[in-house]
Structure 1
Amino acid sequence: MRIAGVSLFSAFARLPSLIRVSAPVPTPVSGHIKSFCAPVSSRLLHSQSAAMSLPERKPFTPDFFFRQLFDTESSTYSYLLADVGTREAVIIDPVLEQAKRDAQLVKDLGFKLKYAINTHMHADHITGSGWLRQLTGCQSVIAAASGAKADRHIEEGDRIEFGRHAIDTLATPGHTNGCMSYVINEQGCIFTGDTLLIRGCGRTDFQEGSSKSLYENVHAKIFSLPDNYRIYPAHDYKGQLESSVWEEKRYNPRLTKTIDEFIKIMENLNLPYPKKIDASLPANRECGVYDIPKE
């Protein structure tokens, strides 16, 4: 909750130190605080201020379906989104080994998969978009700048529609040239792929990587969104499901640094060569179609 015009500290500073006020617990009124209770310890006050600075989450609309899916081998999140009214659905960053699972889920829920969308050309797993196209009749989607084949190539500013809902596209290269982030403004969320992770970011030491470009795109495009927007990345390796613009602007250990400090950090990560890159990149350039299992 935000407090307009005055902080709790300044509000309490104006209360005479010897006056004790018996007042009700603070009551939220249209984003403001109606009444204060005093006295409180400075530590408690600090804790309350920190808690109240958390932006209010925007709830999903009733006709918006959201399901977060996971692949344990690559620690990849896929996202099934749908319009409950029209039953049109899309999936973001599907994984080849989970394509049958995802197709069955779409069928079970009575959805019609319209698009299988990739945030970029992945190096750590083979996309499931090619197999899902065979299983469901959907179209594959990826950025034109990725260099990968797809039924539909997109650029920044293009819209991806499913039912009455729409995804707005942001070009956020840096991890790769073709990285896109997908924003659904009505729902207050963004799917950041590998560009922005929870308390981290994608590596920039291969596949057209650019630390400078990644930093600039995150700050100019993702961090310029409202603080309460949920962030859904393509991966997490510590079990966290989501973050927010507010959190990453304050607590991301890399992207809260200056651009020069960030570039130095990225240059000294000393990460191992991706295990599946030699198989994943050739397959993903072809939309994964030549590695579809025969079964």
Structure 2
Amino acid sequence: MEPSAKPRSSQAIERVHGLYQLARLHKFPLGSLIIYWPYGWGVAMAASKEHAPMHTILKSAAILLVVATLYHSAFCVWNDICDRDLDGKVERTRGRPLVTGLVPLTDAFALFAALLMLSFFTFLVQCTIGSYHDRFGVMLTSLPINLVYPLTKRWTWWPQLWLGIACGWGCAVGWASLAGDRFELQQLPALQALCVADVLFTIFADTIYAAQDKSDDEKAGIKSTARLFGSHIRGILALFAIAFVGSLVLAGLLNGNNLPYFMIGCAGVAAHIIWQFYVWQPDDDECSAAIFKSNHDMGYILFIGIILDSQL
């Protein structure tokens, strides 16, 4: 005797849960914070330049956390849409909703569009609150970069660089969201240095993330800097880490930051990275996953250092 079909209510609940997983909301704040920190750093650095009051900084930072979470979820959906033929070949991703069929492709497209529109609407509200509507275009410019990113792992060994450019743009979004029409040309070098720092940070962090999938990625034909760097991964990432901290120091000097930025932010980040290299085992997948997650803490360290500096 055949088992009875699941009730429609049960099927609907499963589909909603699948959409929830597709957007990675079940893992919040993992992933979302990595995307958020460039926004947060940009807001804090602009506030440090202008000596903005704490309530203004926290309001902008909180709204941008919502924006970054929605934006991250939208492009997680987009990534799974683009990678649905590859995810089934990788142990870590073969249980994702589009691979298992839990979520239909049409629903995934609808979710992507809804999350994307909601993220832009939320940022537009932020722009309206601050009366600098033209800064909405700064965020809009990041859209094509993010749309192309999931495809890069098929044709270049440097998808982490492309992701870094996409994430680094968040520094400009965060800075513009607070500075708005008050942004001056002399602030551009500091913003550029901060964007470069985040590109380097993203390559560093995402290469560690990709290290946990090296074997499966090789079988599936997925390219990454983790595979490209091979046995030299620790040494090469050490160079990226040094360049990252150096770019943070340069950004602070150009922005006129004070001692808390350098002693808490930059020195704290450097100490955290040293600890990461001390405990990281590149051939241990679980260790790579844990070290990647610890980059959230690095984000807090730098953000706190800039915030304390902005109040002097």
Structure with more of its chain in helix, by fraction:
2
Q: Which has the higher contact order (CA 8 A, sep 6+)?
A: 2
Structure showing greater radius of gyration is 1
Structure with more of its chain in strand, by fraction:
1
What range describes the TM-score normalised by the shorter chain of this pair?
0.3 to 0.5
| TM, length-normalised to structure 2 | 0.31
